[in-house]
């Protein structure tokens, strides 16, 4: 009775087709590994296990509440935000969206100033590959240290932003944070 009443209300508001399109024909739990992804290929969403794409026959509801329309590539996030995947974009099983090009990332946030032909640059480590396992372990330790320093810097920057955005007319003293940020920058060089 409640479902029928809800459907009648939606039909009277003209919202039923959009709601039904996204919720009808939803697959139950889909077996995925953390490395799997729901990718837009040739205009439809496929489940990619490793390198093998598997066509979908139903819309997907992820465990975090993210909904993926397999025919259109429309993704509805748990908070209600809706975006449409472009070729090469994909959704991880945890609901994170990875954009295949700068243009699709920009378009998802409402920025149409990025050319459609823009590509991400590939990072290439200019150093030669480590020759021994010990050298590889040393390099990994260096990288982990830098990642920890960057995470600490981000935390300090967020604190500074919070201070600056909640301050009234007077400018808060951020000199202590600035010194900590400069110290981290010196370590990262």
Verify that 41 and 88 share a domain, yes or no: yes
pTM of the model: 0.54
Q: Kindly report, residue by residue over 72-127, the tens digit of the pLDDT.
A: 999 998 888 899 998 889 999 988 899 888 888 888 888 888 888 888 888 788 88
Sign of CA dihedral 26, 28, 29, 31: negative
Q: Quick one: pLDDT at residue 65?
A: 87
Specify whether 97 is located in the same domain as 41: yes
Is 166 inside a domain boundary? yes
pLDDT given at position 27 = 61
Residue 100 lies in a domain: yes
Q: How many domains does one find in the chain?
A: 2
Looking at the fold, whether 157 and 104 belong to one and the same domain comes out as no
3 state DSSP class of 94: coil
3 state DSSP class of 85: coil
pLDDT, tens digit, for every residue of 27-39? 655 677 788 899 9
Structural domain boundaries enclosing 46: 16-108
Q: Please report where in the chains the tokens 């066509």 appear, as a residue.
A: 55
Q: pLDDT value at position 167?
A: 57
Residue 119 placed within a domain: no
């Amino acid at each position: 009775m409640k479902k029928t009443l809800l459907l009648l209300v939606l039909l009277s508001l003209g919202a039923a087709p959009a709601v039904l399109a996204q919720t009808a024909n939803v697959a139950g739990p889909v077996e995925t590994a953390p490395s799997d992804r729901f990718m837009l290929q040739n205009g439809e969403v496929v489940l990619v296990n490793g390198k093998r794409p598997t066509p979908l026959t139903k819309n997907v509801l992820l465990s975090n509440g993210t909904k993926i329309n397999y025919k259109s590539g429309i993704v509805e996030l748990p908070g209600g935000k809706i975006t449409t995947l472009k070729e090469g974009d994909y959704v991880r099983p945890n609901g994170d969206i990875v954009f295949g090009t700068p243009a699709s990332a920009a378009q998802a946030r409402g920025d149409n100033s990025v050319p459609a032909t823009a590509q991400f640059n590939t990072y290439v480590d200019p150093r030669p590959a480590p020759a021994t396992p010990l050298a590889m372990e040393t390099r990994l330790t260096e990288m982990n240290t830098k990642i920890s320093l960057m995470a600490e810097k981000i935390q300090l920057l967020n604190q500074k932003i919070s201070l600056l955005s909640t301050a009234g007319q007077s400018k808060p003293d951020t000199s202590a944070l600035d010194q900590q940020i400069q110290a981290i920058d010196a370590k990262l060089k």
